[in-house]
Structure formats: C-alpha cells, structure tokens
Amino acid sequence: MREFTSADIACLDEIIKARRDVRGNRFLDKKIDDETLDKLLQAACDAPSVGFSQPWKFVIVKDAKKRDEIYQDFLKENEKAKEIFKDKELYSKLKLEGIKESYLNIAVLYEKSDKRVLGQTSQKKMGEYSVVCAIQNFWLMARAHNIGVGWVSILKPKRVKKILNIEKNHKLIAYLTVGYVDEFLDEPELLTLDWEKRKSMKDIKVI
Amino acid sequence: MREFTSADIACLDEIIKARRDVRGNRFLDKKIDDETLDKLLQAACDAPSVGFSQPWKFVIVKDAKKRDEIYQDFLKENEKAKEIFKDKELYSKLKLEGIKESYLNIAVLYEKSDKRVLGQTSQKKMGEYSVVCAIQNFWLMARAHNIGVGWVSILKPKRVKKILNIEKNHKLIAYLTVGYVDEFLDEPELLTLDWEKRKSMKDIKVI
C-alpha cells in the first residue's frame, strides 16, 4: 500500500489550487499530442464510479464545422442568459467559452445502463455523478500537464447531442474545451472581477 | 504562473490510481485531527463551480446515535437492493458501507440558489455537478493524507435529510464515510471479485 508524504500532499494541493476554468482568450494554437491526451483520459477513467460501472463516454470534437455549430448554439443560449442578467453590465463583457479557440473539445457523456447497477438502486443520479468525478480527474491531470480546460455550460444539451449525432441513451454531462494556454490566472476571474465572493468555510455544521 | 513538471504529473497520477472506495472492514479507530480535516475540506472548496457559486455545504456527522439511524436506513434500502440482485449470490456477501466503523461521516449538500447563477441558465444540474467536483477533490486529498473515503449511496436521501435535520433547499449529493484505514486495496474490490470488468478506452469517438 502506497503511503503518501507531505511532499505529495503539497503537490496535489498546488495542482488543485492552480486549476482554472479557461476561456477562449487564453487558448494557444498548439497541438496536444495523442499520447498526452490519452493520459488525461486515463486519469478520467481512474475515477471512482458507482458499482465500478464506469458509465462515461468521451467524444473528441476536432472538426471545425461541428464546433461552429456548437458555437452557434452557445450564442443563442447566451442571448437568453444576457436577458436574464440584463441589469448586470459586466455579464455581456465576459468571455464565457473557448469552443473555437481551444485545440479540441470533448463531449463527456453518461451512458445509461440497461441493467441494474450496484449502489444505484436508491439514488439514480449516482451514474451521472460518477461521470463528474471523471471530469474532475481529467481537469486536474490536464492542469498538471499545463493544459487548460473550460467547462462550457451555456449550451442546450439536446442540440449538442443532435449536432454530434449522439445516441439516445447517452446524456450530455459536460462540454469541455481543452488546450494549451498563454496563462493560468492567479485567481478565478469571477472572483477578481467581484462577480462572486469567496465563501468562508466557517459555517460547516458538526453533529 | 505555476508550470508543473513530470514529477508533479507522476505524483498526481499515483494519488489518482491509489484512491479507493473504502468500506467498513478497512476503517481504523484512529482520530482525524481538525487541522487535517480542514485541509481536506479546503481542497473540496478549491473545486471548480459554475459561476463561482460554490454551492456546497458540509455536515460533519460524529454523533453515534445519528449514525445508527443512518445505518438503519442503509439496512432498509439494502434489503430492497438484495431483492434486485437476488440471482447474484455475491451481492449479499459484500460489505457496502462503513457508516459506524469510520471516524466520521460527512453529508455533502447542494444549496439551491435563490438567485440566478452565471453558467446555470441553460443547464440546471450544473450546481449539483459542482458539488461532485468538490467531492472528488476531497477524496483525492484524503488519499494523499492516507485517509480513506467511502461514498455510501444505498440510502434514501429524504430520510438522511430528516435524520440530520437538513433544510429544505439543500439537496443531499453524497454521504461520505471518512477515516484512517488498515489498507488501501491494490485494485477496486468489484474488479478483483469479477463483479465488473475494467472498460477499455478504445471506443472513444473522434469527430
């Protein structure tokens, strides 16, 4: 059994703290080689999953035409969002995706199982949550490789699935933009711009 | 901007691969000090969150009576699960939780926002997914501290919320059991016992 040390803890802590949600204004036009991409996907697949069901699927999107179609969907959804945030001037100035600027995109899917899954009998969402664990592993491993990841959520899952011709029994969990960057910001941008404050850990309840 | 090295990549990879879902037969009766627990919770709070909303809440459960009530709910839900898996003899032999044996439990909650959240206008689940990212950070940081975590999903969220007196606008995402262990298994137990096979990465689609 591997015993980790304080140096290992510090390493993980640095990677966790240095991870950012990267947008299009930071991505570089630099290739990610297949071997590196495989390592990031391997980290994703080493995530915990309910009943060891490994219900994740990955669709790597490099095709420019498909990405433009996804981008058009972002524009449409973001128009609705701008309306929701119309009293906040900052919103419309924010760069909220990097669909076309990143080296590649990944649609991360949850494959619904047609058989029963151990541990998923009382809580149906467990499969989706397993996929999110895989995404977080991917994100951290990408950061360790000095590769940026952005999670684009201002998209209509139904339309993304249609554009990418994704089967019915797969649910879109995340649409990721992935690429090398010119810079990882020191702090989350929405904190720096005072969109949200950092929450205190003080209100943790102990029973 | 912090540039990580191949040594950092190797460190993260080892932690990711050594992480296990720990059950009650592995937990030790050994205290986790508050400073250490804070570090694990801090890693959770450094997770990405939609619109920097940080919608996670943690309830640390140490009380033996409450834990016994949760355990009774597990027994009830697991009876139903045993019925579902009645043709698989192995199921009823598996130890599937460590509610009472672990040093502490944590209910991880999603606090629904009463205001609009940036990035959550097209996909409502983004808040819940942010909480799962926090859980995965917690899990990895725990493993780096040689502390085991088990995610107990054979529980009825409604009953857990009632037992722990959790407010209505909070959703239970995970019930974690946390403690030092005598051993981290080399491989996921459900793989070793041939309950599930490891999936190949070969069917990744590229568009």
pLDDT tens digits, B71-114: 999 999 999 999 999 999 999 999 999 999 999 999 999 999 88
Q: How many residues does chain B have?
A: 207
CATH of the domain at A80: 3.40.109.10
Which among A50, A60, A155 has CB closest to B153? Answer: A50
Which among A2, A120, A186 has CB closest to B14? Answer: A2
Whether A52 is covered by a domain: the verdict is yes
| DSSP classification of residue A27 | B
Q: Across the interface, do A4 and B13 touch by the CB < 8 Å criterion?
A: no
Residue B121 pLDDT: 94
Q: Which of A102-106, A203-207, B7-11, B95-99 has the lowest mean pLDDT?
A: A203-207
Residue A158 pLDDT: 97
Whether A83 is covered by a domain: the verdict is yes
Nearest Cα residue in chain A from B18: A2
Whether A6 is covered by a domain: the verdict is no
| Residues B12, B200, A30, A156, Cα dihedral to 10° | -100
Q: Does ipTM come in above 0.90?
A: yes
Distance CA B177, CA B23 (A): 8
Whether A78 is covered by a domain: the verdict is yes
Look up tokens 């992480």; give the residue.
Answer: B19
* Nearest CA distance, A138 vs chain B (angstrom): 10
* Nearest CA distance, B126 vs chain A (angstrom): 7
Calculate the CA B72 to chain-centre distance: 19
Q: Which of A4-13, A101-110, B193-202 has the lowest mean pLDDT?
A: B193-202
Residues B135, B176: contact at Cβ < 8 Å? yes
* Nearest CA distance, A14 vs chain B (angstrom): 9
Compute the half-sphere exposure of residue A120: CA atoms within 13 Å on the CB side of its CA: 21
Residues A154, A95: contact at Cβ < 8 Å? no
Residue B183 predicted with pLDDT over 80: yes
Residues A183, A89: contact at Cβ < 8 Å? no
Domain count for chain B = 1
Whether A169 is covered by a domain: the verdict is yes
Compute the half-sphere exposure of residue A20: CA atoms within 13 Å on the CB side of its CA: 27
Residue B1 pLDDT: 78
Helices B6-18 and A126-144 pack at an angle, to 10 degrees, of 160
Nearest Cα residue in chain A from B193: A52
Q: Which residue range(s) make up the domain with A81?
A: 21-204
Closest C-alpha among A153, A38, A65 to residue A107 = A153
Q: Taking residues B55-80, report their average pLDDT.
A: 97
Whether A2 is covered by a domain: the verdict is no
Residue B202 predicted with pLDDT over 70: no
Whether B15 is covered by a domain: the verdict is no
CB pairs under 8 A between A and B: 261
Distance CA B22, CA B2 (A): 33
Whether A151 is covered by a domain: the verdict is yes
